Structure 1
Amino acid sequence: MNGRAAAALEAVLRGLGTVRWYLREVTGETAYDRHCEHHRRSHPDLPPPTRREFQRMRSRRLEEEPLSRCC
């Protein structure tokens, strides 16, 4: 592989990485990762919740405390 092809491949891979990051942020996929990181720092003696448990907690919280209100 010559230098130009390697540079083009690197640019494509970097672009795909950016798209992946963006999609994970938009869909909320990173919320679980951030929660686990916070949980490990705050409660090192307890295991973090599973992804399913986290999604249930998150859904329940959003239902009880909506982020936006019309009035």
Structure 2
Amino acid sequence: MEAVRGVRRAVDWVRWYVREVSGESVYDRYVAHARAHAPGATVMSRREFEHSRMDAREADPREGFRCC
């Protein structure tokens, strides 16, 4: 039983790590922030959020968007 919990904990940690590194969790944090600070406001869909995020990165090279 203890081994199963250890494996489960390791899998959960790997999942968390991959989501953080890939940026997958950024949208979840945006939704939580938007709902906490403006409960009545419309929350962007994931697609809208990603488009907005890419537009912002392309507009400002200091945000880390580079072609090479």
Q: TM-score range by the shorter chain?
A: 0.7 to 0.9
Contact 2:34 2:43 in 1 (8 A): yes
Q: Number of aligned pairs?
A: 64
Q: Which runs of 5+ in 2 are unaligned?
A: none
Q: TM-score, normalised by structure 1?
A: 0.83
For 2:50, the equivalent position in structure 1 comes to 55
For 2:22, the equivalent position in structure 1 comes to 27
1:42 CA displacement: 2.1
1:1-71 matched pairs, under 5 angstroms: 6-66=1-61, 67-68=63-64
Aligned structure 1 segments of 4 or more residues deviating by more than 6 angstroms: none
Q: Which runs of 5+ in 1 are unaligned?
A: 1-5
